Structure formats: structure tokens, C-alpha cells
Structure 1
Amino acid sequence: MPRKPSNILYGADEKPPLGTLLILGVQHAVLALLFVVYPLVAAAEAGLSFSDTQVLITSCIIFMGVATIIECWPRPGAGRLLVQIPNMAHLPLAIQALAVGGPSLYAGMSLIAAFSQFTLSRFLGALRAVFPPEVCGVAVTMLGVALAEPALRRFFGLTAETAVAQLDLRFPLASLVALVVIIGLAIFSRGLLRLFAVAIGAGAGWGMSAFLGIAPEPEFALNALPVIDLPHIGFPGVSFFSWALVPAAILTGVITAVDMIGTVVSMQRMDDADWRRADLDEAGRAVRANTIADMGAAVTGGFSSASSSAAIGVAFATGTTAWRVGIVSGVIMILAAFSPRLIAALTIIPPPVIGAILIYAAAFLIVAGMELILSRRLSDRRIFTVGLAVLTGLAVAVLPELVRTTPEWMQPILESPLSISTGVAILLNLLFRIGIGREASRQVTAEESPFTVATEFLERQGDLWGARRDVVAAAIPVVAEGVEMLLDTGVAEDGLEIRARFDENNFDVRLVYTGAPLEIPNHRPSPEDLLGDAQAVARFVGYMLSKRADRLVIERDGERQALLLRFEH
């Protein structure tokens, strides 16, 4: 079992009390339902009828709940708190497909996107080298950056038509109240106050918005809508006639899968104090669960969904990553589809409240991504991989006119800071691997200092290979002790050779020498052995090395002996 971080109250596999479980589930579900604004925007831009819009939203909500339940369940899902929201990456594809061919064409393009997601998920285990921590860190950081633009617009009450000079200070004031309450409770409170920090902050922000007169008024009478009614879903058919949209659909699926990987890695990192590497098998299960839900939404006329990066900020604020919270949240979403009045009420939550929650989530994701990046020793190659990838993502965010100069079918992909920066990070990571040997060696003589040799050699190779700092630091004294033992006891007759090898799972160091094979006792030798002959001292030191390395193996290397010290990475 992973060691739970000190700031987490309820870990992934823990069961919060029933009352806490229900309230946290409602909190996540309400936040997820706020994002029905994405399918609403797509429907408005494409000029859909009221009935088609109702189907688009209702089916989206139902399969958001289904996907959340499947993803949060340990099997067949990931067993993480992965709450779904309408997929913002689908917005450009939805607008184009709905405008050109209506719901049936969008259903076809959604199926193509889902199939590309599924295909990528089957190869994630084999692509571990493509997604080292620094690449995952770029993805997580840019998740936060991607949230910044919609978060800040809502925070300051800006729209595409609003000039900054016309800024209404009531909007940032309401947002600031909500944000201060959330952060204050998350940092300085304990117990129930911290668990419900987001809900309390949202309530404070809503109250301030109402007091300042900026809470939106409904365009319809809520009382005229039924409290409970059967969900309105449809079966629009499936069309693939617009081949010009197929590349955009495939790339939208890839973007969604990368986004999902970043979200899963963020939750893994948050829930494990000793996190080492991304569990891509788990990420693959999450992507496949999302694929199933997207296919269901497509054939019933709904909008696609994806794991919510905003929910990660809520999990951090509440200190709860329990997957059972996600199950409750998914059930509440499905039940919400049976209440037209509830869905309508969610569409009038003040934008400053949403902006405050998104800013909190963005801040957490940016810092979490930096932690992932810096968890490894950064060589020049990795520094440029991370730096150029982040700058590319920032370029499309700061200079959107650059994107508008590209072909129209490419713009939905290039305008996403997340997709473009992650793609650049992957390509540069593969390019900069050229010329890096995965093995290195160094001869050591009896006149040299074992600790100095081990430190200089392993740190240099660790920097070059991008090994984790703590793994290299743990290996140095163990290797130095092994070298000193072999040389000082005379077991190594004429010096020895240090051979280091690295892959994404292990950092191996072999001490190769000419001499008698070393014997490693199964039981701890007595302290008196240190006063015995050289072989007894070597056995004692060998036993100690076997306890300090993750694995110790005695091997032969042709005519020579080899002592393998393995450190899990």
C-alpha cells in the first residue's frame, strides 16, 4: 500500500463516514454539472433546436455519471477519484460537426475520437519511455495553464466583447471572497470545515454575488419546470460523410487521452507520498472507461466527457482522494438527469464562483506539475525538453493569432496549450534520447577514493539519464561501500570496474572484478567477524549491502566475478 501524504485525510482506498461521503459526492457532482456550459456553447454556436440541445445535455450528464462510476471503481476502472465533466477538447469538433451535419455527424466524429482514445490506451504500458515524469509534469503543468484563461475571464467578469477598461470590480470582489474562503479553510482549518472548503467558499461567493447584484437571473421560471421527469435522450444516427473532420476527430481523441493521463498521474502523485513513476496500466483503464462512456454518449446524441482537472483541486482542498466519493458523485449526476429544474438551476451559478474554483485548481496543477518535473535530475537535454515544451504551450495561449494563420482543420489542436506542449515534450524527449547510452563504465584502482569515484560517476550518469535524485543519492554510499570492501579486503586482486545501467524501472550498478566469488550469508554475521580475516570482513559487508540495495546478486562476467546492486527507480 502506498504511504498516504500528511495532507490527505482519506486516501484512495479509505472509506469516509457516510455523511461526509454524501456531502463530498454532492460537492464534486455540482462542480461537474456547472460545466454543462460547454455543450450549451456548442449547441448555441451550431444553432441547434431546443429539443436537440436538451438531448445533447441530458445524454452528456448521464454518461458523465456512468464514466465517473466506472473510472472510480478499482476494476475495471482506475480506482481513483476521477470525476467527469463535459470535455472542453471536444468543443471545436462539436461546433464544426453540429453546424455541418447536425447531431448524426457529431455522433460519427465522436465515435472516431473514442476509437483513437481506445487504440492509444492499449499501448500505454509499452510507451513508458515516451511518458517519463518530466513529460507527465509538462502535461500536468499545462493542465493548470489551460484552466487559467477561462478561470481569469470568469474571475474578472470578462467576455470576448468586454474590454479590460470596462472592468466591473464587483466580479473580482465576489471571486476574491470565494477564493479567500476556500484557501483559508483548506490551509488553516481541520475536520469538516476543510472537507467542505469548496462548498463553503462557493456559498460565500454566491452570497456576495447576490449582494452585489451580479448573480445571473434565469431566462425562464424555474417553478415552471418539473422537479422530476424522464431524461430526454435520442438516437440521432451516425454519419461519417465529412472526411475533412476525420483528422480533427482523431487528434481530439488523442488530446483527450493525454489529458486523461495527466489527470490520473496527478491523482497518483497526490495520493502517494513516495510516488516514483506513472502507473500507465491504471491510466489505460481510465482511458478505456472514458471511451466506453463516450461511445454511449455518441449514439444517444450526447456531448463527450473527460476527467475533471478542477476536481483535482477540490480533492486537494478537501484532503480526500477516496474513490468511493466518485461513485457517489457519479450516481448523483445520473439522478440529476431526471430533474430538469435542478439542471436549469445549475446554469445560473454566478461566473465569479466558478472562476474562483478554477483558479484554485489551476494553481494546484501548475505546482504539482513542477514537482513532477523536478523529481528527476535535469540534464541539459531535459531542461530544453521541458523549457521548449512549456514555451510552446504558452505561445499559443499568449499569441492566439499565430494559431489563426494555420489551416482550419489544425486550429482546434494547436489552440490547446495542453495538447501542443505535451506533443512537443514527447517529440523532444524522443529526439534528445539519440546519442545517450543506457550503460556506462569506469575503472577504479586501489589508490582512488571509492566515495569520490562513486559520487562523480553516478551523479554524472544520473544527470545524463534523468534518474531520480533520491535513487542516485541512495545508490552512492552503497556502491562506495562495495568498492571499498572489494579493494581493501583484497577480494578484487587488481582493481575493479563499475558498470552502471539505467532503464525506467531500475538503476543497476555492477562491480566487476578478478578474484574469488563473494559469499553473502543468509543470516547476519556476528560483530566478531569484523576482527577476522579479509574474507570474513567481506562477508559481513556483503550482508550489509544486501540489506541496503533493493536487490543484490552474485554473477559471473566471463572469467571475472560481478556483484550486482539494483535500486528500484
Structure 2
Amino acid sequence: MPRKPSNILYSADEKPPLGTLVILGVQHATLALLFLVYPLVAAAEAGLSFDDTQVLITSCIIFMGIATIIECWPKFGAGMLLVQIPNTPHLPLAVQSLSAGGPALYATMSLIAAVSQLSLTRFMGALRAVFPPEICGVAVTMLGVALAEPSLRRFFGLTEVAQGALDGRYPFVSLVSLVIIIVFAIFSRGLLRLFAVAIGAAVGWVLAAYLGVAPAPAATFETLRYVDLPRIGWPGMTLSWALVPAAIITGIISAVDMLGTVVSMQRMDDADWRRADMNQAGRAIRANTVADMGAAVTGGFASASSSAAIGVAFATGATAWRIGTIAGLVILAAAFSPKLIGAITLIPAPVVGAILVYASAFLIVAGMDLILSRRLSDRRIFTVGLAVLAGLTVAILPELVTSTPDWMQPVLESPLSVSTGVAVGLNLFFRIGIRQEASRTVTTLENPFTVATEFLEHQGDLWGARRDVVAAAIPVVAEGVEMLLDTEVAQGSLEMRAHFDENNFDVSLIYEGEPIAIPTQRPSPEDLLGDAQAVARFVGYMLSKRADKLILGKDGTRQKLTLRFEH
């Protein structure tokens, strides 16, 4: 079982009290439903009718709820708090598809995107080398950067005031809401911390209403029913070969987005986190694609795990998967209540901005933490730096994106997809010339600790091994070299051979001499004064207690002692 971090009150498998569970679930569901603005924007841009828009939104809500429940339930999905929202990378594809061929064309393109996303789950084991922690860190950081633009627009009221001077009421409401969330999240304990986001949102809503920046209900709001059957339907199927590349790329971007959110939750929920659990990520992506296929054939907008929900989980200190199942049920129930959906859309923009700014800040720092969890050689420094800079380029200079061909724009509009693509490409390119195994001869005239430090730190930098693993290996390897040479179990010199993969950091000591044995009982210190076999037993026992695993073998005619450190 993973060790729970000190800042987490309820970890993934823990069960909060029922009242707390319900309130936290409603809090996550409310935030998720706020993102319905994305399919609404797509419908407006494409000029959909009222009936088609209603189907697009209703189906999206239904499968957001279903996907959230499947994602969170351990027997079917990832077993972690992954709350679904409308999938932002789908927005360009939806606008183009709906404009060109209506709901039938978007349904076809959504299915193609889902299949391309699902196909990546067949290679999750191989993707571990493609997505080491520093590359995942770039993706998580750019999730935060991508969230910054919509969050800051709402924070400063730029979505409400298109022209003219900045209205100070909007940033004031946002700042008050953000300060309250931070204060309760950091300085409070118990229930107050759990409901930090809800308290900040409630105070911000009241303040926004008092200052006159809360949206007024539309004339049709009163006519909405409290309970009504959801309207979904078969949209038909139409194919446009011109949009197929954009659909495939959208699916790949969605998979990378999902991978980033899964890694963020894994990192948050495990104090001893070492590497991404690709099997868990694969289950999350598969659950998401099943829901996307359901949404496609019923005329809905695709969904994906919410990066904003990660910030809320961090603020509340609760990552229990049961919270997600409650959130999924609430989202699903919202599809049967037009009045509830209408009320949620009335939450003031500066309040939403404050919540998203908090989530964005958390993701940026969490990504940096992932990046710096590995030793960074010059190759990795350039990989990370150039990838982040590429993503910032398309965010800061949108005119570069608009000057590219239409089929490229859906990819280049996303800082996340650009940064992750550049990071993966540079990571594969810079692996050229790096061997996964290296060796060095050590003699009795050399200082074992100095040799082990220089050799293993150099190789750790090249391979991008975790800092704590290399630091733990150095004294053990140095002690093994020293004991083998000083006790003359190894005759004159030995070969120190290091090997690295994403799971293990192995250092083999290969020498001419007596084989060592690993006794089950601690040898007595007097064995050091005995014959070579007794000394070898003492060496074997000591090293077996220092490494994660000690493996004995032969390399030709020489003895081979491998010290394994789990990575």
C-alpha cells in the first residue's frame, strides 16, 4: 500500500464519513458542470439549433457522470479520484465537424478520436520509456499553463468585459475567493479544510451578487423544469477524410492529457511515489474512451479527466475514489434537472476564475516537482527547457498558429500537445548514443567511495535516474567494492558494471576469486578473521541487507554479484 502524504486527510482507498463524502462529491460535480461552457461554445460557433444543442449538452452530462463512476471504481477503472469534464482538446474538432457536417460528422470524428486514444493502451508498457517522469512533468506543468488562460480571463473579468477599462470588481471578487480558499486549505484542519473550495465559492458568490457582477437569470430560466427526461438520440454517421487526421491527433492529445492527470493523482496520493503506474493509466484511458464512444453515438460532446479537480483534491486533502463516485452520480442526476444545470451556469465568472487559478498553480508546481525528481543531464535539461518553451510559444504568439495550415491548427492550439510532442521527440532523439549499460575497472590503489560516486553520478545523469536511488546506491556499492578488495575475496581488481531501466538500477561487481554466499543468519565478526569462504559469507550478508536485492551469478569464469536498487 502506498504511504499517505502528511497533507492528505483521506487517501484513495479510505472512506470519509457519509456527510463529508456527499458534500465533497457535490463540490467536485459542481465544478465539473461549470465546464459545460466548452460544448456550448462549440454549438454556438457551429450555429447548431436549440434541439441539437440540448442533445449535445445532455448526452455530454450523462456520459461525464458514467465515465466518472467507471474511472473511480477500482473494479472497472483506475480506482482514483478522476472527475470528468467536457474535453477541451475536442473543441477545435467539434467546431470544424459540426460546422461542416453537423452532429453526424462530429459523431464519426469522435469515434475515430476514441479509437486512436484506445489504441495507445495496447502499448502502455512500452510507453514507460517514452514518458519518463520528466516528460510526464512537462505534461503536468503544461496542463497548468493551458488552464491559466481561461482561469485568468475569468479572474479579471475579461470574459465579461470585451472592451474598455478593466472593471476592478471582478479581480476583487476573485482575489477574495482565492484568499479564502488558500487560507482554509493551508491553515485550517478537519471539515473547514475539506470544504475550503466550497466556502471560498460561497463567499465569492455572495460578494459578486452584492457588487453586481453575478449574472442575472435569463428570461427562460423560470420556465425550466426541475425534473425532466434527458433528450438524447442517434445523430447518424458521416465521414470526411479531410478531418480524419485531426480526429486521430485529438485522440492522442486526449490520451496524453489523461496520462498527465493520472500521474498527478498518483504523485499526490503516494509519499514514496517513484514511477508512473502505466497499467492504472491504461485503465483510466480505456474507461474514458468507452464513455466517449457512448457520447458519440448519442450526439454528445466528449469528456476527459479534469485537471481542475486535482487542484480541488489538493486543497481539500481528500483523494478518496468514493468521492468521485458520488460526484459521478450527482453529474448523472443533473442530466434529469434542466433547472439545476441552469443554476450552475449562473455561478459568477470571477468565482470560477479563483478556483481555476488555484488548480493551475498546483499543476504547475506539481509538474516541476516531477521534472526535478530525476537527475537532469544536459540532454534532459534541453529536453525539458525546449519543450516548455515550445508550449509557451504557441500560448504567447497565437498568430503563429493561425498562419499554419488548417489541419495543423487543432494540434498547435494546445500548449499541452505542443510541449508534450516536443518533449517526447527530443527525449527519443537524445537517447541516441546513450548505452543502458556502462562499466569501470576498480583497483586496490583507488578510493572505492570516490570511484563509485563519480561513476554512478555520471551514469545517473545520462540515464535520468532518480536522485534518491543513485544517492542510496553509492555508499552500498562503495562498501561492496571496498570489502571485496580489502578482504582479498576479489583478487587485485574488479569490474563495476551499471545497468539501468525504468524499473531497476543495477550495479554488478565482477571479479576473479571465491564466490560469496548469502547466509540466512548473521555471521559473527570473527568470520572476518577466518578463511576466504567465511569472509565471503560476511560480505554477502552485509550487502544483502543494504541493497533491495542481491543476485549472485557468473560472468564467464568470473564471479558476478549484482546489487539491485528498485527505481
Q: Which residue pairs with 2:23 in the alignment? A: 23
| Contact persistence 2:383–2:423 (CA under 8 A) | yes
Note the alpha carbon deviations across 1:291-318, whole angstroms, 9 max, x for none: 0000100111111000000000000000
Q: Which residue pairs with 1:461 in the alignment? A: 459
| Contact persistence 2:29–2:327 (CA under 8 A) | yes
Mapped to 1, the partners of 2:518 and 2:487 lie a distance apart of: 15
- What amino acid does structure 1 have at the position aligned with 2:472? A
Mapped to 1, the partners of 2:399 and 2:159 lie a distance apart of: 18
| Contact persistence 1:155–1:352 (CA under 8 A) | yes
Mapped to 1, the partners of 2:542 and 2:515 lie a distance apart of: 17
Task: Specify every segment of 5 or more residues in structure 1 that has no aligned partner in the other structure, as ranges.
Answer: none
| Contact persistence 2:154–2:353 (CA under 8 A) | yes
What's the offset of the Cα at 1:409?
Answer: 1.4
Q: Which residue pairs with 1:127 in the alignment? A: 127
Note the alpha carbon deviations across 1:352-372, whole angstroms, 9 max, x for none: 011001100000000000010
Mapped to 2, the partners of 1:439 and 1:254 lie a distance apart of: 32
Per the alignment, do residues 381 and 160 of structure 1 end up closer, same or farther by CA in structure 2, a change over 3 Å counting?
A: farther
TM-score scaled to structure 2, two decimals? Answer: 0.99
1:322 maps onto 2:320 in alignment: yes
Note the alpha carbon deviations across 1:4-51, whole angstroms, 9 max, x for none: 100000011111111111000000000000111011111111111111
Q: Which residue pairs with 1:343 in the alignment? A: 341
1:170 maps onto 2:169 in alignment: yes
Q: Which residue pairs with 2:396 in the alignment? A: 398
- Name whichever of 223-232 and 167-176 sits farther off: 223-232
| Contact persistence 2:170–2:350 (CA under 8 A) | yes
- What amino acid does structure 1 have at the position aligned with 2:281? A
1:513 maps onto 2:511 in alignment: yes
1:48 maps onto 2:48 in alignment: yes
Q: Which residue pairs with 2:154 in the alignment? A: 154
Q: Which residue pairs with 1:439 in the alignment? A: 437
Per the alignment, do residues 223 and 282 of structure 1 end up closer, same or farther by CA in structure 2, a change over 3 Å counting?
A: same
Mapped to 1, the partners of 2:21 and 2:437 lie a distance apart of: 50
| Contact persistence 1:489–1:535 (CA under 8 A) | no
Mapped to 1, the partners of 2:523 and 2:559 lie a distance apart of: 22
1:489 maps onto 2:487 in alignment: yes
Mapped to 2, the partners of 1:11 and 1:528 lie a distance apart of: 49
**Other structure's SS at 1:261 match:** helix
Q: Which residue pairs with 1:2 in the alignment? A: 2
| Contact persistence 1:198–1:317 (CA under 8 A) | yes
- What amino acid does structure 2 have at the position aligned with 1:538? A
Note the alpha carbon deviations across 1:406-444, whole angstroms, 9 max, x for none: 001111110100000000000000000000011111111
Q: Which residue pairs with 2:502 in the alignment? A: 504
Q: Which residue pairs with 2:374 in the alignment? A: 376
**Other structure's SS at 2:522 match:** coil
Match runs of 1:249-268 below 5 Å: 249-268=247-266
- What amino acid does structure 1 have at the position aligned with 2:539? V
The total of aligned residue pairs comes to 567
| Contact persistence 2:514–2:536 (CA under 8 A) | no
Match runs of 1:517-556 below 5 Å: 517-533=515-531, 535-556=533-554
Mapped to 1, the partners of 2:220 and 2:253 lie a distance apart of: 39
Q: Which residue pairs with 1:111 in the alignment? A: 111
- What amino acid does structure 1 have at the position aligned with 2:230? P
| Contact persistence 2:440–2:497 (CA under 8 A) | yes
Q: Which residue pairs with 1:210 in the alignment? A: 209
Mapped to 2, the partners of 1:94 and 1:37 lie a distance apart of: 13
1:239 maps onto 2:222 in alignment: no
Structural RMSD (CA): 1.1
- What amino acid does structure 2 have at the position aligned with 1:134? E
**Other structure's SS at 2:490 match:** coil
TM-score scaled to structure 1, two decimals? Answer: 0.98
**Other structure's SS at 2:126 match:** helix
1:99 maps onto 2:80 in alignment: no
Q: Which residue pairs with 1:184 in the alignment? A: 183
What's the offset of the Cα at 1:531?
Answer: 4.7
What's the offset of the Cα at 1:549?
Answer: 0.6
Task: Specify every segment of 5 or more residues in structure 2 that has no aligned partner in the other structure, as ranges.
Answer: none
Note the alpha carbon deviations across 1:339-385, whole angstroms, 9 max, x for none: 01000111111100110011000000000000100000000000000
Match runs of 1:12-91 below 5 Å: 12-91=12-91
